[in-house]
Amino acid sequence: MSNELVERIRGRRMPGQRARREREAAARRQRAERAGHWERRFVTDDRTRFQEEAEALRHQGFADEDIRIDMLCGRLTHPTTYVLSVFVADPDPDQGGGSGRA
């Protein structure tokens, strides 16, 4: 392959990549602005059961941005483990979510 062709290929981006990157960056910024934490909901080594649980979370009203999927890759002695977590927003102290008494 000629150097000129390689340089042209490197300079190209796949269509839609910019929009996807910007959308993902905006979602990360929005999540970073919210106070909260990730709460582990489900752990398994059964891929089918994992997919069912992920779908159940979506049906419960969790947005895709609020569901985190971790896949801990196994080796010969350990199976691959799937972990589902959801983002839980901390109560807003201005809305009376605190436990203080008047």
pLDDT digits (tens, 9 = 90+) for 85-97: 998 888 766 665 5
Would you say residue 40 has pLDDT above 90? yes
Q: What DSSP line would sit under the chain, residue for residue?
A: --HHHHHHHHH---TTHHHHHHHHHHHHHHHHHS-EEEEEEEEES-HHHHHHHHHHHHHTT--GGGEEEEEE---SSS--EEEEEEEEEPPPGGGT-S----
Average pLDDT over residues 43-68: 90
pTM over 0.75: no
Question: Which range among 35-39, 41-45, 61-65, 70-74 has the greatest average pLDDT?
Answer: 41-45
